[in-house]
Amino acid sequence: MPLIIKGIATAEDAKLAVDHGVDVIYISNHGGRQLDHGLGTIDTLPEIAAAVNGKVPIILDGGITRGTDVVKALALGASAVTIGKLQGWGLGAGGQAGLVKVLELLEEEITIDMALMGVTRIDQITPSYVCKATLVAFAHEMSAFCHIPGGQLR
């Protein structure tokens, strides 16, 4: 049975986990509920991916609400993402059909995003497609980015 360690938040912990035989690294800050001013998972992903160096798959959770979020995570080193909040919204809005619709919308958004980038396969998505950007709007209660300077809750 594969051993997956959830809650990895630093490159050092990821390296230790891999050195001790973990099969999958699962980057999570548990929704920010445990430490509300820690880094977002997308912020820790590049250094964790560098530390893991392709030895094991990386799963990322936290703040995935659009297809572009999935593409960014893949570009920065994630092998997969989870969609806890979206899953809950889909189920709450329409049960099983609502969840299926959420997954269909994500698939469509990812396909469009990849087409706009000019890539046809997931393995063509690289860090070169991602850069830091200035916030264009303030974060809100459903935002994953409320701890970025300038993005405080209002």
Main-chain dihedrals φ then ψ at residue 6, nearest 5 degrees: -100, 140
118 three-class SS: coil
The secondary structure of 105-139 as a DSSP string is HHHHHHHHHHHHHT--SGGG--GGG------SS--
- Amino acid present at 153: L
Beta bridge partners of 81: 60
Distance between CA atoms of residues 133 and 149, nearest Å: 12
Task: Please tell me which residue in 20, 30, 37, 140 is annotated as part of the active site.
Answer: 30
User: How many CB atoms within 10 Å of residue 53?
Assistant: 11
Q: Is 30 a catalytic residue?
A: yes
Sign of CA dihedral 125, 129, 131, 136: negative
- Residues catalogued as catalytic: 30
